[in-house]
A and B are shown apart, each in its own frame.
Chain A
Amino acid sequence: MSGFLSIRNLTVRLKSGVTILRSVSLDVAQGQVHGLVGESGAGKSMIGKAVLGTLPRALQVTGGEIWLDGENLLALPHDTRRKRIGATAALIPQDPLTALNPSKRIGPQITRRLVDILAWTRSDAEARALELLGEVQIPDPARVMRSYPHELSGGMRQRILIASAFAAEPKLIIADEPTTALDVTVQKQILRLIADMQVRHGTSLLFVTHDLGVVSKVCDTLSVLYAGKVVEEARMHRFFMRPIHPYSRALLAATPTYLDPTGSLTPVPESVISAVEEEVRLHDVRFGT
C-alpha cells in the first residue's frame, strides 16, 4: 500500500440501499496533508467517519478496504479494530462547542482519553495536557485546565481540541472542517497552528473542508468528491494550476475571491452537473451498485 492511510474502493450504503460512498480510493502519505473537498452531501465527512469507525448506525460499509499503518482495519475483529484506531488515529472536530462537554472542566476532558484508554497515570496525563496546551499557544494553561468550555472563546476551544487530538501522539489525524465555525483572522491562526503541529509531530493529516482557499494553504494532495465519488485526485499545485475534471474547474470558478471583482461568479453549470451525475450513474452500473 502506498499511503500511511490507504482507502481502497470503499463503498458505504444506507441500510435502505442508497449509496453514500462509491468505491472511494485515496491515499494519505506518511507525514503529509491530504485535503478532501466537495460540496455538502458529497460524503466528505463520511470518509473520515468510516476510517474512525464512527459511521452513523444507519450506514454500513459494504465493500472495500481501509489500510491504516499496514493493516486492513475492515478485516480486523471489532474490538481489535477499535483499539487499533484509538491508538493510531484522532479527530479534530468541526464545532468546538458541541465537541466539549459543557459541564466538565477542560483538564479532565483532555486527560480522560489518555488515562482511560491508553492507561497513562493521572499525573503523567496532566503533565502532558499542560505541555500541549502550551504548545498550542494557550496562555496560562493551568488556569485553562480548570476552566469550563463556556468561559473560553471559539478560537481557544478549537486550540484545546487540537491539543487533545495530538495528546496521544497519533500517527493520523482527521480534521473535519476544523475552522469553518471561526472568523477569518482566527481561522488563519488555527490553520497555521495545525500545519505547525502536523510538521512538528510528523503526523499524517486527512483534512476535510469545503473551502478551496483553505486547501491551497495546508494540503499537499487532495481529492475532490462529488456525490460520494472521487472525481479528481491531485497534488495541490497541479490542481490549482491545471484542474482536470470539469467539476473541479467549475468549483474553482464558483469560488469568489476579492482579487477579481469584475468577472461575475459562475455557478457550477447544469451541463457539468449532469455530466458528473452521468459519470456517477455509469459507475453504479459498472460496479453493480
Chain B
Amino acid sequence: MMYQVRDLRLSLPDMTRKPLLGSAPRIEILRGLTFDVPRGAVLGIVGGSGSGKSTLGRAMLRLLEPTGGSITFEGTDITHLTENQLRPMRHRFQMIFQDPMSSLNPRRRVGGIIAGPLKLHGMDRLTTRVDEALDLVGLPRSFARRFPHELSGGQRQRVGIARAIALRPDFILADEIVSGLDVSSQAQVLNLLGGLVKELGLTLAFISHDLSVIRRLCNRTLVLHQGEIVEEGETAQLFEAPQAAYTRELLQAIPLPDPYQEWA
C-alpha cells in the first residue's frame, strides 16, 4: 500500500466566528476518513465545494497536520512528523496545483521553476533533469528559457506537471488541475497525465469536482460529502451502479452535451 489512511480527522479554527477575545471555534473538516491507496492506483477524489477534497489532499502530503487518526505512507507513519523529519521524504510525494498562473513564479524562467525543487533536494545534473522533465510532458526543451506569461494555460499546467515529476516521486497529488482549462487543453493534459502514470509507474490522487474527468482517468474513486466518505470503489462500478444517494445526485446533475439526456 502506498497510503493507508485510518480514521483521519482534521479541524481548523473558524476565523469568521472568532470572538474578539479568546479562540475561534473549530470546524471539523474531515470527519474520520479510512481508505487505502494501493501502489500504482489512480484514485479520483470527488465532491462538491466544501466537501473537504483539497483538505484531504493537503493532509496526505502533510501540508496540514491531522488532528486525529493516522496516515501511513509506504509503511512510515507520517501523521505527526515534524517538518525536519518530513523533508528527506518530501521528494517522494509531490503536488500539482490548480491554478498554473499563481503556482508558477512569474519572475522565473520555466527552467528555473522546474529546477527549484531539484536544488532543494540536493540533486545533481540539473539541466539534464529539467530537459528530461520537459520531454516527458511534451514541451520543447527551449521552453526552459521562457517565462510563464509566455505560455498558454495548457502549457503552464504542463510545466506544473514537469516540476512535480522532475523529482521522480512515487506519488503525485493533482488538485483540480484541469478545471481552469478549455476542453481542448483539458483533453491534452488528461491524456498526458494518464500516459505518465503508466510510463513512470506513478501513483496518483486526482482531486476534481468533475465526474466526467474522473471517469476518464481514474481506476478507483472516492466520493466525499461534508467531510465524510459516502462511497468508495472501482470507478467503473461506482459509475454504473452508484450506491450512495449523493453519488447518484452528483451523476444526475452533470449536463452532458446531449439534448436528449434526461436531466430535469
Interface size class of A (residues with CB under 8 A): 35 or more
Indicate if A187 sits at the interface (CB-CB under 8 A).
Answer: yes
With an 8 A cutoff between CB atoms, is A236 at the interface?
Answer: yes
Interface string of B155-185 (1 = CB under 8 A from A): 0000000000000000000000000001111
> Cα distance A218–B255 when bound, in Å?
10
Q: Tell me whether A251 is interfacial, beta carbon within 8 Å.
A: yes
A18 contacts chain B at the CB level, 8 A cutoff: no
Contact residues in A for B257 (Cβ distance below 8 Å): 212-213, 215-216, 240, 252, 255, 257
Judge if A254 is at the interface, Cβ distance under 8 Å: yes
Q: Does A39 count as interface, using CB distance less than 8 angstroms?
A: yes
For A185, the closest partner residue in chain B by CB is B253
B250–A185 CB distance below 8 A: yes
> Which of these, B191, B209, B211, contacts A258 with CB under 8 Å?
B211
Which residue of chain A has the shortest Cβ distance to B239 in the bound complex? A258
Closest chain B residue to A265 by CB distance? B187
CB distance from A41 to the nearest CB of B (A): 9
B residues contacting the other copy or chain, number (CB 8 A): 37
B2 at interface by CB-CB < 8 Å: no
Q: Which residue of A lies closest to B185 (CB)?
A: A267
| Bound CA span A268–B188, Å | 9
B191 neighbours in A (Cβ, 8 Å): 264-265, 267
In the assembled complex, the Cα of A71 lies from the Cα of B143 at a distance in Å of: 51
Q: Which residues from chain A contact B210 at a C-beta distance below 8 Å?
A: 184, 256
- A40 CA to B191 CA, complexed, in Å: 20
| A213 CB contacts on chain B under 8 angstroms | 254-258
Give the secondary structure class of B's interface: helix
Expressed in whole angstroms, the Cα–Cα distance for A100 and B105 within the complex equals 31
Closest CB-CB distance, B259 to chain A, in whole Å? 5
A184 interface neighbour in B183, B188, B214, B250, Cβ under 8 Å: B250
Give the number of A-B contacts (CB < 8 Å).
111
A251 touches B258 (CB 8 A): no
A237: chain B residues at CB < 8 Å are 259
Q: Determine if B236 is an interface residue (Cβ-Cβ < 8 Å).
A: yes
Q: Is A188 an interface residue (CB 8 A)?
A: yes
Docked complex Cα distance between A265 and B222 (Å): 22
Docked CA distance A257–B263 (Å): 14
Tell me the bound Cα distance from A210 to B251 in angstroms.
20
Q: Does B124 contact A (CB under 8 A)?
A: no
Q: Is B261 an interface residue (CB 8 A)?
A: yes
The CA-CA distance from A274 to B33 in the complex, in Å, is 49
Q: Say yes or no: is B264 at the interface (Cβ < 8 Å to chain A).
A: yes
B187 close to A40 (CB less than 8 A): no
The reply to whether the CB of A259 lies closer than 8 angstroms to some CB of chain B is: yes
Ranked 3 nearest A-B pairs via Cβ: A213-B255, A268-B184, A265-B187
| Known A258-B256, A261-B216, A265-B186; 9 more pairs at CB < 8 Å | A184-B250, A187-B255, A213-B256, A216-B256, A216-B261, A255-B257, A258-B215, A264-B216, A265-B216
24 sampled A-B residue pairs with Cβ under 8 A: A40-B153, A184-B250, A187-B255, A210-B182, A213-B254, A216-B257, A217-B255, A217-B261, A236-B259, A237-B259, A241-B259, A256-B183, A256-B190, A256-B210, A256-B215, A256-B216, A258-B214, A258-B256, A261-B215, A261-B216, A261-B235, A261-B239, A264-B191, A268-B183
